[in-house]
Amino acid sequence: MGKAIIALHETEGVNPLIKKPSHRLWTVLILLGLTVAAWQPSVLGIAAGVFLLLLLWCGIRIQLILGRLLLLLPFGAGAALFIPFHTEGKAAFKWMGFVATEEGIERATVILLKLVSANFLLTYLLAVTPLFVLLRSLRSVGIPAVLLELILLIMRYFFLLKDEAVSMFKAQRSRGMNFKGWLWSARAYKRFGELMGVLFLRAYERSKRIYIAMLARGGLEGESSMGRKETGLVARATIVGQGKDATAKPEFAAEVMGVNFAYGKIKALNGVSFDIPVGSKVALMGPNGAGKSTLISLLNGLELSQSGEVRLFGETVKRDNGDRLRRRVGVVYQDPDDQIFSTSVEEDVAFGPRNLGLGAAEVEERVDWALGSVGMREMRRRSPFELSYGQKRRVAIAGVLAMKPEFIILDEPMSFLDPRGRDELQELLDDMGEMGLTILIATHDVDFAAEWADKVLLLKEGKLLASGTAELLFDDVLIEQASLHLPRLARPFRLLRGAEEHRPRSVKQAAQMIWKLIMKGADPAAAVKPDSRGGQEDAKQRPAGHKHLPPS
């Protein structure tokens, strides 16, 4: 069990005996009540012995049990030292002029046995029940759900900050900073204060991101469940168009027309215009600071354009319809820890559907479907602390899918994933496309965009450089302007005479093109084409830093 006072997740080798957490909680509470009510030392002694045997039977280590008993020393010492000498009755013995009575000794024994029995029961409950599961189980004893959700969110947030603090201190120690012992150097105290300041700023920034993620999934809107359900149904049943049939399916999932947006004096978007057809797969690309995050906020209705117009499914986004339209657009943010704010996988995925005012049966159905879609159904009862980064990313996507949006936006979904995780996520995105969803991905990954996207938007400094097919990513001039690079699969073909125009978007296409070049055979005469002056081709006519090689 280790030295942890509480369990954050299920531990191997421990048998809880009572499988259902709520039943486990009720059993412990009932036994605690009986323990408090009992006054016979023999009964309490037998109960304590039985509880100890059950702890060992469950697989809880004796070191953990003894460690928990040490917590009783302050209370047990008081009971043993004071109660026998301050209770009237028949004298039993004298010590340092004080008389201990038999009634006092019996009362002290009863109190000590009650403390030990209660300690064993709580040790069992905390050792076999993950903390967040235990807190959720408190609903069964009448604790208000709102209060529990608030406590759970605070604790989840606390552990996230703890992990960040640990990472920051490890980074400082790896660079020679010493925080060992009780007395630090003046430099260490100064650095510690700076780290606490940075941690506070990170906490503030993360709280904003968590708030935005909750808002994007229908939380904190101050509407009744019925109101949310009705407006959600209206959003799907009607489409406001200009002279169009209200039941007609719109041609575009999103239309952005001359949009401008600024943060104070900083221009984030400047006259941006484009459209996203329904069912398309779009890559939004550009360097950091290009305006991608701002554009995502506009498309999700979290921000309103300061000039220009943003339409979602034919309806202009306004202050009075942003919440309703937002239910048709799901956003998966870059850091899944900003989006997974519940204490179990299934609770987090259920957050959005519950905010839509759906019934328990439909919420359960959506949770099961969404987790199955991302291959995480078996993890539904796990805590986020037990998941890898890639698994958290899948849960974040499932939380959005459970809302059943028609348009999904993902912000840098490939970041921090290992190669296998990237392949699995790309396969998942392909599956989402086959569901008929419109997908927009903000990414720096040119190779992924070239293979996956059927439309590309290039942003830089708040302006739209170009909008078109993935062929844009093979344009040297545009790629340089957007501070990106050519897809890696295309680079070898730029080195081959006669193969410069080959633009493979996938490994399969590249292999087919290479095979065709091999079958064509080498042409030594064409290896270096002379220019009009009889010399070699001018270096300006080929990509900088590249030399042509004859095809093999």
Query: 372-384: per-residue pLDDT in tens?
Result: 988 898 988 887 7
How many other β-carbons are positioned within 10 Å of the β-carbon of residue 255?
19
Residues of the chain above pLDDT 90, percent: 25
pLDDT at 231: 41
- Please name the amino acid found at residue 243: G
The distance of Cα 19 from the centroid of its chain, to the nearest Å, equals 28
Q: What is the pLDDT of residue 463?
A: 93
pLDDT at 13: 64
What tens digit of pLDDT does each residue of 110-152 get? 888 999 999 999 999 888 887 777 877 887 778 887 777 777 7
CB 473 within 8 A of CB 486: yes
Where residue 529 falls among pLDDT bands split at 50, 70, 90? Answer: very low
pTM above 0.75, yes or no: no
- Token couple for 174: 């790896």
Gap between the Cα atoms of 254 and 399, Å rounded: 22
Residue carrying structure tokens 């949006």: 405
Give the residue, 199 or 157, on which the prediction is more confident: 199
Strand ranges, E, within 183-251: none
Taking CA atoms, 42 is separated from 91, 106, 110, 112, 113, in Å, by 22, 11, 9, 12, 10
Residues in the chain, overall count: 552
Instruction: Encode 147-161 in three state secondary structure.
Output: HHHHHHHHHHHHHHH
- Residue 106 phi/psi, 5-degree rounding, is -65, -40
Hey, what amino acid is at 453? A
Interval 408-456: pLDDT, tens: 999 988 887 788 888 888 888 888 888 889 999 999 889 999 999 999 9
* pLDDT band at 288; cut points 50, 70, 90: confident
Chain center to CA of 198: 22
528-546 residues labelled b (16+ CB within 10 A) or e (exposed): eeeeeeeeeeeeeeeeeee
- Helix (H), strand (E) at residue 33: helix 21-37
In 487-537, which ranges are E strands? none
What mean pLDDT comes out for the span 454-479? 91
SS (HEC) of 394-451: HHHHHHHHCCCCCEEEEECCCCCCCHHHHHHHHHHHHHHHHCCCEEEEECCCHHHHHH
Q: Average per-residue pLDDT in the chain?
A: 80
Nearest to 443 by CA among 418, 463, 473: 473
- Inter-residue contact 120 to 51 (CB < 8 Å): yes
Q: What pLDDT score does 45 carry?
A: 92
Contact status, residue 528 vs residue 548, Cβ threshold 8 Å: yes
Give the Cβ contact number of residue 519 at 10 Å: 7
CB–CB of 221/213 below 8 Å?
Answer: no
Look at residue 43 in the predicted model and tell me its pLDDT: 92
Residue 522 dihedral angles phi and psi, to the nearest 5°: -75, 140
pLDDT, mean of residues 332-348: 84
Q: How confident is the model at residue 521 (pLDDT cuts 50, 70, 90)?
A: low
Distance of CA 179 to the CA centre of its chain: 31
End-to-end Cα separation, the chain, in angstroms: 62
Contact criterion met (CB below 8 Å) for 312 and 253: yes
- Average pLDDT rounded to a whole number, residues 71-81: 77
How far apart (Å, rounded) are the C-alpha atoms in residues 44 and 36? 10
Q: What is the pLDDT of residue 341?
A: 77
Say if residues 293 and 270 touch (Cβ distance below 8 Å). Answer: no
For residue 273, what is the enclosing H or E element? strand 266-277
Sign of the C-alpha dihedral, residues 431, 436, 442, 446?
A: positive
Specify the pLDDT at position 206. 79
Q: Which of the four pLDDT bands, split at 50, 70 and 90, describes residue 252? A: very high
| Sign for the pseudo-dihedral over CA of 468, 474, 475, 480 | positive
Residue 398's H or E segment, with its range, is helix 389-401
DSSP 8-state secondary structure symbol assigned to residue 462: T
CA angle 16, 17, 19 (to 5 degrees): 75
Question: DSSP of 130-146, one letter per residue?
Answer: -HHHHHHHGGGGT--HH
Q: Which helix (H) or strand (E) holds 225?
A: helix 225-237
Q: Which pLDDT does position 19 carry in this prediction?
A: 85
* 278 pLDDT above the threshold of 90: yes
Q: What is the pLDDT of residue 364?
A: 93
Check if the beta carbon of residue 340 is closer than 8 Å to that of residue 160.
no
State the Cα–Cα distance between residues 492 and 528, nearest whole angstrom.
Answer: 16
CA angle, 253 as apex, 249 and 255 as ends, to 5°? 120
pLDDT at res. 311: 93
Q: In angstroms, what is the C-alpha Rg of the chain? A: 32
pLDDT for the residue 7: 56
The partner residues of 262 in beta bridges, in order of sequence, read: 267
pLDDT over 70 percentage in the chain: 85
Sign of the dihedral defined by the CA atoms of residues 377, 382, 383, 389, in that order: negative
Element of type H or E holding 465: strand 463-468
How far CA 308 is from CA of 117, 225, 266, in Å, comes to 70, 33, 17
Please give the structure tokens belonging to residue 195: 């780290």
Q: Write down all domains in the chain, each with its CATH number in brackets.
A: 21-141 (no CATH), 225-480 (3.40.50.300), 489-541 (no CATH)
Q: Where are the alpha helices (DSSP H) in 274-359?
A: 292-299, 322-326, 345-355
Range name among 9-23, 351-365, 429-443 with the lowest pLDDT average: 9-23
Per-residue pLDDT reduced to its tens digit, 220-251:
554 444 344 444 443 343 333 334 444 556 78
Cβ neighbours for 496, distance < 8 A, ≥ 6 positions apart: 517, 548, 549, 550, 551
Tell me, what's the pLDDT at 492? 80
Give burial (CB, 10 Å; 0-12/13-18/19+) of 186: exposed
